[in-house]
């Protein structure tokens, strides 16, 4: 399995599929998951002839569980080292949830010299937490509740989230996949307790308003209008008004987990956007 030793000594795991393919696509996953959550997308795109790369963020999956560095700036610095290591250019960055924030902060912090397009899926941009300047955000008590639940019983909390709002399985008539619930739980429990605890602050309190404004590249924003984790009004609908060159596609009735619940449609949208 390929690993990259980062500048601080952290060992970063990544997948690099179809290395002879064209138009590289790089995926950033959500909290508290890892690159496996993208398998439906990276298998599809690699099968269509594209080179695909997906990494486990520090503190997640098979990457080292560092005590420090569990913040959005460090995540993007890690991503920049990976793109440099693989010498990738003309990249399409794709991020889901926290990974969408990572994509936006990467473009704002490191520029777009290696990036030609970006896709934000159920992304936490521009800012999740409620503030005076972001009155539509979620109260801090929501994220404090995440941290309290982790400290009390992380294993049970990591059952409750996928059993309910993440996949939309708490909605009447939802077709529940126990396999997806187990898969989410396994990935979450595989991750660092400290890393996932710190990441709650990273995904909820990092303001990416200015990062979005700097993204001059074409951006596709995909979001379910029944997202119970990252409500669409204060995220995608707000982000698309900050992005200079973006369009929003709303998935009617869809939950937060678009790459899983709406995998085929997401795959089609990614390929279509790549071909534009």
Catalytic residue positions, numbered: 97, 227, 256
Token pair recorded at residue 48: 């269509």
Q: From the CB of residue 276, how many other CB atoms can be counted at a distance below 10 Å?
A: 7
Give the integer Cα–Cα distance in Å for 224 and 232. 7
- The residue count of the chain comes to 276
Give the integer Cα–Cα distance in Å for 23 and 179. 32
Chain centroid offset of residue 240 CA:
17
91-96 and 50-55 beta bridge pairing: unpaired
Give the integer Cα–Cα distance in Å for 173 and 89. 44
Give the integer Cα–Cα distance in Å for 43 and 45. 6
Give the integer Cα–Cα distance in Å for 117 and 276. 10
List, in order, residues 6 or more apart from 79 with CB less than 8 Å away.
26, 28, 55, 102, 106
Phi, psi of 256 (to 5 degrees): -65, -35
Torsion sign across C-alpha atoms 57, 61, 64, 66: positive
């Amino acid at each position: 399995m390929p690993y990259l030793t980062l500048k601080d000594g952290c060992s970063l795991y990544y997948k690099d599929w179809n290395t002879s393919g064209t138009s590289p696509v790089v995926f950033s996953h959500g909290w508290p998951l890892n690159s496996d959550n993208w398998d439906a997308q990276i298998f599809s795109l690699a099968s269509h002839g594209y080179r695909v790369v997906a990494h486990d963020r520090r503190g997640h999956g098979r990457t080292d569980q560092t005590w420090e560095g569990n913040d959005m700036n460090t995540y993007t610095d890690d991503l920049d080292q990976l793109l440099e290591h693989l010498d990738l250019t003309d990249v399409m960055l794709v991020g889901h949830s926290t990974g969408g924030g990572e994509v936006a902060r990467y473009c704002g912090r490191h520029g777009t010299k290696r990036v030609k397009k970006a896709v934000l899926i159920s992304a936490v941009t521009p800012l999740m937490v409620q503030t005076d300047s972001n009155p539509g955000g979620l109260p801090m008590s929501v994220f404090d509740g995440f941290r309290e639940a982790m400290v009390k019983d992380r294993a049970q909390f990591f059952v409750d989230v996928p059993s309910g709002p993440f996949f939309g399985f708490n909605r009447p008539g939802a077709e529940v996949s126990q396999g997806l619930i187990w898969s989410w739980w396994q990935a979450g429990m595989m991750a660092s307790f400290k890393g996932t605890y710190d990441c709650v602050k990273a995904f909820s309190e990092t303001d990416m308003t200015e990062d979005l404004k700097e993204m001059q590249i074409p951006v596709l924003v995909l979001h379910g209008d029944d997202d119970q984790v990252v409500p669409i009004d204060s995220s995608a609908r707000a982000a698309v008004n900050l992005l200079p060159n973006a369009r929003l596609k709303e998935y009617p009735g869809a939950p937060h987990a678009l790459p899983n619940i709406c995998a085929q449609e997401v795959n089609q949208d990614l390929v279509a956007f790549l071909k534009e």
